[in-house]
Amino acid sequence: MSEDEQQIQSVWTRQPARGRRRDQPALSREQIVSEALALLDSEGTEALSMRKLGARLGAGATSLYTHVANKDELMELVTDAVFGELTPPVAGPDGWRPAMVSFTRDLREMMLRHPWLSTVLGEMGLLYLAPNMLRLNESVLSLLEDAGFTPDDADTAVTVIFSFVIGMALSEAAAQVTFRRSGLTEVEWFRKLMPAAEVAARPYPTLHRRYLKFDEQTLAPDVDMHQIRSSAFDIQVGRILDGLDPELRKDR
């Protein structure tokens, strides 16, 4: 087996191809990633192909392979590019917690801007080796260790925080795709769903009490569902940070 065959297949684990043929347009990797991101944001993952992307760039699909070996590598690059939209958290005069709260909000909003992430992020097994993810992980770990977290506790905190925020945002982004495909607003969609959900939950009293809370006022047409979700998200993040805070854990 050759060295190339033994290598783990990822854009982050191989050397980039060198040079280009004279008849190839002078594309850059940045141009390819930027156009792929625009296509994904506007049309979703189903629309992305190397041939279609090449056409949008005014080049043949084969000319893209100078910079990316295949569509999987392209998706790795685009996924890391959207994480590059995030500003690494830096502690201010009020300490680490406000910085982490702000970072989790930014991470959630970034993922909602790019709902296609909900269908591909689970396949990005080596994303932790990507430059923007490395930069973010370094900044979060440094922030926490400077705040008094042990290295092990900082590692745990990063895993918990990223897992929670990404998991919540993926679910939220997938729901937004469902709403758009239905042609309904979020409130309209829930108003149509709730009668069936309430009936389905009747054999389960603990769940049923929660469905009964959704009345006409809760789902009024002018209700800002995004704000409701954002407020709930902030509360949930606060509970998680309480559990991770080394100062609060001293008394346990």
| 78 and 130 housed in the same domain | no
| 120 and 158 housed in the same domain | yes
Tell whether 204 is covered by a domain: no
Tell whether 154 is covered by a domain: yes
SS (H, E, C) the chain: CCHHHHCCCCCCCCCCCCCCCCCCCCCCHHHHHHHHHHHHHHHCHHHCCHHHHHHHCCCCHHHHCCCCCCHHHHHHHHHHHHHCCCCCCCCECCEHHHHHHHHHHHHHHHHHHCCCHHHHHHHCCCHHHCHHHHHHHHHHHHHHHHCCCCHHHHHHHHHHHHHHHHHHHHHHHHHHHHHHHHCCCHHHHHHHHHHHHHHHCCCCHHHHHHHHCCCCCCCCCCCCHHHHHHHHHHHHHHHHHHHHCHHHHCCC
User: Residue 237's closest CA among 95, 149, 105?
Assistant: 105
User: Residue 32's closest CA among 4, 71, 2?
Assistant: 71
Domain coverage including residue 107: 96-183+222-249
Q: What is the pLDDT of residue 58?
A: 86
Tell whether 211 is covered by a domain: no
What's 75's domain CATH number? 1.10.10.60
Tell me what percent of the residues of the chain surpass a pLDDT of 70.
Answer: 88
> Where a domain ends, among 83, 108, 137?
83
| 173 and 104 housed in the same domain | yes
Token pair, residue 175, equals: 């729901």
Residues of the chain with pLDDT under 50: 1, 19-20, 23-24
Beta-ladder partners of 92: 95
Q: What is the pLDDT of residue 1?
A: 44
| 152 and 233 housed in the same domain | yes
**pTM of this structure:** 0.84
State how many domains the chain has: 2
Give pLDDT tens digits for 73-92: 899 899 999 999 999 999 99
| 18 and 77 housed in the same domain | yes
Measured CA to CA in angstroms, residue 154 lies from 126, 146, 216 at distances of 21, 10, 44
> Where a domain ends, among 59, 83, 107?
83
Q: What is the pLDDT of residue 215?
A: 72
> Where a domain ends, among 24, 59, 83?
83
Q: What is the pLDDT of residue 252?
A: 58
| 121 and 177 housed in the same domain | yes
